[in-house]
Structure 1
Amino acid sequence: MLQTEEHIGKTEELIEDQWYAVYLARDLARTGTPVSLRRLGKDLVLWRDSNNRPRLAPAACPHRGADLSLGWVESGNLRCKYHGFCFNSQGRCTEIPCEGREVHIPESLDLSMIETREAHGFIWMWFGDGPPEGEPRVPRSLDGYSGEVTFQTTWDIRFSRVMEGMMDMHHVPFAHRPWISSRITRLDPFEVIQEDGIIRTRGTMRDESNPRSKGLSMEIDIAFPGMLYFTLGQGGSSDLAALVACTPVDEENTWIAARYFQVLVRVPFIDRLFTWFTLQAELKLIQPDDYALLKSTRPRSSRSGTSHLVAADRGIAAWHRLRKQKEPHAQTEVRQTR
């Protein structure tokens, strides 16, 4: 089997032996065009086979290294644009046109296929040397929500910092003023529960000087390492929801993809339109602040042990504890304030 030149071992940001979402399933059409993507430090090619199942392999053709995503798909098989070598859904090289139909094809020309699943609206890859452990998981079902709209982007920010930002509730009244009230500075109540690799956090940002304030209620659940479930509403409601995937592109960059939903509008088509407008507000008013603040953070990785977390960061601390179980040299200090 082909051995790629690029070896990805234990690094600052890439946590091994995990399932990672790498693409939105609805965007991987059953067409003749493969998809080029870079995830977890690897250049990859993604396509659907004749049974509509996702297939994933290193992008470099075993022959002479051309990018296979420049080629096309024929009856579920991948053909290289450079010399026409063809690979089936198992990665086996089945054709070398220049050598004729009777040529013996060595295994050295086969693709090293990567374990892949389609689940929960995403395409997933297993990142590890051994066989997959379990199946891809999300923190919670999105049953009851409607009006799905999807979004994806790449931030030039390291994965650990992106995850800390995604799990942070108490930045909201400061980072996002004037769009969100600057009075709701108190995070109370706030609870964190960890069970079977899932971190569940519940909290309300409220005005401490106004006991009757409903506040802004949030739920942020995490299926380690990078799949998050969000809800947002007033007074304990969960009007808006999102399933968000965060996956390292490499050491320096993180791919973020989301499936947005809501419960406020149920009318077909109108529900998606409402969700779309809500998403546009977040993209234009909220995310620019999040990006700028995370981009400014030093050190760029949280691995160095320089973070001193407070009680409102208990969800982040739980994520780092799970990370430390996988990578014992990871360090993060939790400083209690009460």
Structure 2
Amino acid sequence: MERIDTALSKWDGNDELQKRLDRAKNALLESAYIIRFLDEHPNVTSEMVSTGLNKLYEYKKERENCDNCPGLERCPNLMQGYQPELYVDRKHLELRYHACSLKVQAEKQKQEQTLIQSLYIPKEVLSASFEQLDHGTDRMEASRATLHFAMNAKPGEDGNGLYLYGKFGVGKTYLMGAVANELKDRGIETFIIFAPDFFREMRQSISDGSFQEKLEAVKKAQVLILDDIGAETTSSWTRDDVLGAILQHRMLEKLPTLFTSNYDYDELERHLAYSDKGGTEELKAMRIMERIKHYTEAIMVKGENRRS
């Protein structure tokens, strides 16, 4: 359809041009978006419609773009990532724009990644999906369990998660990436955090004053994935004041936590029992593990190292 302003610029009294303009106007007024707006604003007059045709056209076109959204990066709207709102101001039709849900989510993720450097989604995980998974017998149980979680997770109602363990390179992180992408499609916020970097970052955050803010963000994520737990250098502080605080909050709020590790439950408990002060602290490690065991299902991921 020809733009209304283009048609107007060509108007020179010619009957054919007038007919084309009338057809364009009628087609515009038959749009479901415009009909809905006029129904909700019965005080809009014919004169206001005539003088606001450009605004009406822009509103219709941008809303159609949103309904056929190709994704934030390919958004064709005049203001990428923004949706139009049509309103009346002093007997004139006007437009204003608001960030769409994808834009809001992208900005939030950008802020979170600025806050927590170890919050990440590796390149190989960005496109992870259950449709592309190799559902061989080695990973069948893990594939089924992660898919079931992704399809049925209810943060705030059910705090149960998963604990995937196995040798290096068998695809544990990729499975979690598929979970995160599926949850994203369901509108569920997911943090994937590389545990060794996270604990190191938390220690450094004490000096810059961001410790509590980082801790709160991780504690309150709808779904938290701690990748490669057990690969970090253990200290009493990271175990009790960071990991323990996170798990305690998430347990009480019924927020699911998922883990990947090279260790099974018993091996992780021995790892957590190590004390940088010397000796072992088995009771404290046991308390952490009770929270993990009670709220996760342990699944061994088998197979060959896919990175070699």
**What band does the TM-score fall into relative to the shorter chain?**
under 0.3
Give the TM-score of the pair, scaled to structure 1: 0.22
Kindly indicate which of the two structures has a greater share of residues assigned to strand.
Answer: 1
Question: What is the TM-score of this pair, normalised by structure 2?
Answer: 0.23
